Amino acid sequence: MTAEPEPPSPAPLMALSTGFWGFKTLAAAHELDLFTRLAGGASTTCLELAEALGICHRPAEMLLTGCAALSLLEKRGGRYRNAPISEAYLVRGKPDYFGGWIEMADKRLYAGWGKLAEAIRTNRPTTWDPAVQASIFDAEDPTMLALFWEAMHALSTMTARRLGEALDLGRFRHLLDIGGGSGAYDIELCRRYPHLRATVFDLPHVTAIAAGKIALAGLGGRIGTVPGDFFGTAPFPGGHDVHLLSMILHDWSEEKDRALLRRSFEALPSGGLAVISELLVNDDKTGPAPAALMSLNMLIETEGRNYTPSEYAGWMEDAGFRDVETVWFDAPGANGAVVGRKP
């Protein structure tokens, strides 16, 4: 008689079902400014943190222990200090500060993901009401909108660096960032390519945010802004030989994405390049997990989803682009770029 095979360990299910514990520990520590308090080599004990925050010793000890267990803090000689990743990305005011994304995930996305089953049943977002707003970007609460753009700037800054390393833009002179948001991609790509100029094309209230970020970066002489609606009837701004659509197409339906690619093709000169930078779902639609889960995030936030390289390539070719290829890289906001040339 053949013995029944041993069932797999349930440990992965335990890890999945408690995944939010780690996130909420990070989010709480960030909200309490723990990592900023410990910036520059500062350290604390449980008692000192309790006194500084005006809280009891018990939760202070639990928070520090949790952050150390998650490798966010290190403990030496009885004192807790920032781990390198926290010092680099979780200290307010640092160039690579990632806290905007953490805060948006905590204050906006967390509640929406709590209603994921509702989103699946209804095929409607849960972080905003489609009966009241035309889209996620329409009539949004100013506080949440500010959170959104700070989060996108953090995510886009690091992603733009990896894109700039993976894709050679050396022969191009003027980039149009369609739906360019805070201008993070433009800032990083212009830093990498000293000859490159860029234009952020987005809604008026967004280009105002971008103008501030560009000024802070000292790149006002090379990066401009043009307010407009990329779904509008006017052609895209001319005079650009490369178009960038970064973390934009996943917000919208196939029909709208195809329309954007057609408009891009029409506006580019011969030899111009279109670049779609996204977290790409593989063609088998089995992963990778960051792209597949971001796609579910689009379910609670937008009308779109995360698409595959083959889907984007087909749409680009239908729009007229040729020599379409996928360039892979590793970054927080994207894992690759689908690029196509206008003949």
d(C-alpha 34, C-alpha 99), whole Å: 12
Residue 241 has pLDDT above 60, yes or no: yes
Mind listing the pLDDT tens digit for each residue in 1-27?
677 888 999 999 999 999 999 999 999
Residue 150 has pLDDT above 60, yes or no: yes
Query: Of 254, 273, 245, 256, which Cα lies nearest the Cα of 178?
Result: 245
Q: Mapping DSSP to helix (H, G, I), strand (E, B) and coil, where does residue 180 land?
A: coil
Catalytic annotation on 250?
yes
The owner of tokens 């990498």 is 192
The owner of tokens 């003949």 is 343
Residue 211 has pLDDT above 90, yes or no: yes
What mean pLDDT do residues 157-168 have? Answer: 96
d(C-alpha 335, C-alpha 329), whole Å: 5
Residue 140 has pLDDT above 80, yes or no: no
Catalytic position from the list 30, 153, 243, 250: 250
pLDDT band at 308 (very low <50, low <70, confident <90, very high): very high
The owner of tokens 């995360």 is 306
Residue 139 has pLDDT above 60, yes or no: no
Residue 192 has pLDDT above 80, yes or no: yes
Residue 215 has pLDDT above 90, yes or no: yes
pLDDT band at 135 (very low <50, low <70, confident <90, very high): confident
The owner of tokens 């690579």 is 96
Indicate the average pLDDT of the chain.
Answer: 95
What mean pLDDT do residues 60-86 have? Answer: 98
Q: In this structure, what are the phi and psi dihedrals at residue 75, rounded to the nearest 5 degrees?
A: -120, 125
pLDDT band at 141 (very low <50, low <70, confident <90, very high): low
Q: Torsion over CA of 102, 108, 110 and 115, rounded to 10 degrees?
A: -160
Mind listing the pLDDT tens digit for each residue in 27-61?
999 999 999 999 999 999 999 999 999 999 999 99
Contact 329, 338 (CB under 8 A): no
Instruction: Tell me, yes or no, if the pTM score tops 0.95.
Output: no
What mean pLDDT do residues 295-312 have? Answer: 97
pLDDT at position 267, please? 97
